Chains A and B, each alone.
Chain A
Amino acid sequence: DAKTTQPPSMDCAEGRAANLPCNHSTISGNEYVYWYRQIHSQGPQYIIHGLKNNETNEMASLIITEDRKSSTLILPHATLRDTAVYYCIVRATGNQFYFGTGTSLTVIP
């Protein structure tokens, strides 16, 4: 599976949109982009995933560039409860989930 690169940390003001970038320049055509987050020391929680089209659900939006070499997770109105580590994972169906070190997002009051 392709490797991903994320900034180690980011801050966001409460109520503003949080935009978390992820680079995956070696992604293959059959690989999906997944986003998970981990709050405190809980087990990671699924947020969203996509293949090539932009996706939106009740938690977030996922924007994938046309060449699929990068993506952005958008939390439209960040709250203090969104403070967490966010993992971007590239995975082909049937393969395993390999978590990197992620981005530590701090939402500031």
Chain B
Amino acid sequence: NAGVTQTPKFQVLKTGQSMTLQCAQDMNHNSMYWYRQDPGMGLRLIYYSASEGTTDKGEVPNGYNVSRLNKREFSLRLESAAPSQTSVYFCASSGAGTSRVGELFFGEGSRLTVL
């Protein structure tokens, strides 16, 4: 049982390049989330998906797109990376079947640097 798996764990991009962060969960959760965390700051919600086929904007969606490919996978795409998007990105999931209602399960994070 791997929980929430994010790839890649580290990535360096040049300004203007594009990339996709992948996230997969094996807990049969309905809801999935993408957060970013800048140095010394709390987590900010980028996008979330309450169920397969739906996505909604969070606090800081500009510059990002998401795809809920199926129930397991939720990807985050940067179409034209900017230095302001240098951050640590966390994927999380939640759903029925957990012993604690509403508990979020997080991946290990993806550290992105945009030069």
Is the pair B43, A44 in contact by a Cβ cutoff of 8 Å?
yes
Chain A residues contacting B45 (CB-CB under 8 Å) are 96-98
Is the pair A46, B41 in contact by a Cβ cutoff of 8 Å?
no
B42-101 residues with Cβ-Cβ distance < 8 A to A are 42-45, 48, 58-59, 88, 90, 92, 100-101
Interface residue tally for chain A (C-beta within 8 Å): 21
Minimal beta-carbon separation of A89 from chain B (angstroms): 9
Interface residue tally for chain B (C-beta within 8 Å): 23
A91 contacts the other chain (CB 8 A): yes
Tell me the complex Cα distance, A32–B48, Å. 20
Minimal beta-carbon separation of B110 from chain A (angstroms): 11
Partner of B42, one of A43, A49, A101: A101
Is the pair A44, B106 in contact by a Cβ cutoff of 8 Å?
yes
Tell me the complex Cα distance, A43–B92, Å. 9
